Structure 1
Amino acid sequence: MVRGKTEMKRIENDTSRQVTFSKRRNGLLKKAFELSVLCEAEVALIIFSPTGKLSEFSSSRCFSINKTVERYQRKVKDLSLSIKGIQQNRQHLKEGSSSSMAKKIEQLEVSKRKLLGDDLDTCSIEELRELENQLERSLNKIRARKCCGEEQEWRYLSKEKDVPVLKEMRDDVETELVIGPPERVRRMP
C-alpha cells in the first residue's frame, strides 16, 4: 500500500489530530535517540502538546535536559557576543576604510590632473621630471602596443589572397640599398 503525500495544514478533527500528534511525537523521539546513539551527539528535545503536556528527551545520561539547555544558552550568549564584536569591527573598518578611500580617491584625482597637464604650478622640478618620465614610459607602451596591433593587422591582410597588402601600413619598411649597376639576371630559354 502506497501512502499519499500529506498536505501540510491543520487537522480539523480533534481525535485525528491527537492521534497524529502522538505518532509523530513518538517518531521524533525515536529519531532523536537514534541520532544521539549513532553520532554520539548530545540531543535534547522538548515538546509541548496542544493540551500543554510536556514530553522531553535528553541523550546525556549524566546530565538532565536542564544542563543541555544551559549549555545551549551559553553558546547562544557567546555567539551573540562574538556577532556583536564582528559587527563593531565591521563598522569600525567601514568608517576607517571610507576615510582612507576618500584620501586615495583625492590622490588619484590630483595625479590625473597632473598627467593631463593641470595644476602643475605646485609641482617642484623633481616632480615635473618624474611626471615627464612617467608620461614617456606610458607613451612608449602605447606606441609598442600600436605597432604590435598594426603588425598583426598587416600579417592578417598579407594572408588574404584577394586583399593587396598596403605598404603605408608600416612606417618602418626595411629596404636593401645597393650602390652600383643592377645585376643581370639570366633567363632560361
Structure 2
Amino acid sequence: MTTGLMVLLGLAACGDTPAPLAVASVQTPPAPSTTTTANALTRYVDAQRAWVDCMRKQGHNIPDPDAKGYVDIGSYLAAAKMPKTDPGLRSAQEACADLHATVPPELEDREPLTPQQLEHRRQYAKCMRANGMPTWPDPGPDGEWPQGGLGTELTPAEQDANMRAVQICDPVLEGKPKASYDPSKVVNG
C-alpha cells in the first residue's frame, strides 16, 4: 500500500472518509473462541501502543489507544489545529508504518450495511468523483471499499482536492445533502 493511501486510509477511520473494510470471504469462518479473541485484542492493543510510542517519538503526542485499540487521532488533530495532510504527520506515519496494526478479523463486529447505507456509500463515491477525486472507487456490493483504494500517493494538489471533496461529501454518508466548501475549515479525522 502506498504511503499517501495509507495516510488517507489510516486517518479515514477518524470519520472524514470511509475506512476501507476487509474484503468479505465466501466462506464463513467459525466464530473465534473467547480466549482467541482476548489474545488477539491484547496483541492488537499492544501493537497500537507501540505505534503510538513511535508517533510520539516523531513529535506527535497522539492519545493512547483505548481498551479496544482505537486511537483517536481526530482529537489530536483538532487540538493541534492540524490538517490530516500535514507533511510532518505524514512523515511520522511513514516512519511508524511498520508498527501500525490492522484490526484483527476476530475483533471486527460490523453489522451488515442496510440497502440505504449501501446507497449512501455509492452516492458518496459519486460525490467524491464529482468534487475533485475522479478515481474515487465505488464500494463493493457488500458496501466495503476496495483494498488499494485510490492506488497511488497523492500529490499536494490532489491532497487539497481530497480535503475539499471530503468536506463537501461527508454528510452524504449519513444520507444528508452535500455541504458547502469552506476553505478556512480544517477537516479532521
Task: Report 1 or 2 for greater relative contact order, CA contacts < 8 Å, sequence distance ≥ 6.
Answer: 2
- Higher strand residue share: 1
Q: Which one has a bigger Cα radius of gyration?
A: 1
Structure 1 and Structure 2 fold alike (TM over 0.5): no
Sort the TM-score into its range (normalised by shorter chain): under 0.3
Per the normalisation by structure 1, the TM-score is 0.19
- Higher helix residue share: 1
